[in-house]
Amino acid sequence: MKIIVGLGNPEEKYAKTFHNMGWIAAGDVAAKLDVKFKKKECEAYVAAARVNGADVIVARPVTYMNNSGRAVKQLLAKYKASAADLIVIYDDYDIPKGNIRIRPSGSAGTHNGMRSVIAEIGTSAFARIRIGIRDAEVNIPIMNYVLSEVKREDYNLFIAACGKAADAALEIASGEPVEKVMTAYNG
């Protein structure tokens, strides 16, 4: 069992914002698995699939970013999964735009959604895939930046990064060690 969670905000007005990179990547995971987000449970849209004979749940919390942990905690409980079964994909302001970084554990950094996840489940020992959003040329407060729309000229860069994040999540879900996936994708 693996649970892949893409952090973001559920309203259409957030669809193309930096803070929705996790949601976009979760959509890419579902598309690659040829499954749809058919139901809403545990305060998330959920799609189910099997990868290498194991159940995989792909989820997009509807709790809004700062309360993402509520949905993650509920999903882990419902599916009787542990933090070791969790893969969280999210945007990261501390990484240059378009890059991805994978880690087997770590702190929340500047990310309120990850703070919520760690606080709710009581551990930071779970895989995370971070999609870099920082643009060195933009100098506005983080809160304003993450909720702003991706510039048209950068959109393809971010779509490609979300696709790579989805591929990495699927490799981890298929049983590849996180460290091996890190070596392949961290650049």
pLDDT for the residue 169: 98
pLDDT for the residue 72: 98
CA dihedral over 46, 50, 51, 53, signed as positive or negative:
positive
Reported as a single tens digit per residue, the pLDDT across 154-180 is 999 999 999 999 999 999 999 999 999
In 3-state terms, what secondary structure has residue 26?
A: helix
Q: Is 187's pLDDT higher than 70?
A: no
Cα gap 144→37, rounded to integer Å:
29
Task: List 59's β-bridge partners, or say none.
Answer: 5, 46
Q: Which range among 101-105, 110-114, 115-119 shows the weakest confidence by mean pLDDT?
A: 110-114
Q: What is the mean pLDDT of the chain?
A: 95
Which whole number is the average pLDDT over 97-113? 94
Give 150's DSSP letter: P
**Cβ proximity of 73 and 5 under 8 Å:** no
Q: Is 39's pLDDT higher than 90?
A: no
pLDDT for the residue 28: 98
Of the candidates 6, 7, 18, 19, the residue annotated as catalytic is 19
**Cβ proximity of 178 and 172 under 8 Å:** yes
Q: Is 13's pLDDT higher than 90?
A: yes
Which whole number is the average pLDDT over 39-48? 94
DSSP state string for 81-140: --GGGEEEEEEEEEEETT-EEEESS---TT-HHHHHHHHHHT---SEEEEEEEE-TT--S
CA dihedral over 121, 125, 126, 128, signed as positive or negative:
positive
Active-site residue 111, yes or no?
no
pLDDT for the residue 38: 84
Q: Is 52's pLDDT higher than 70?
A: yes
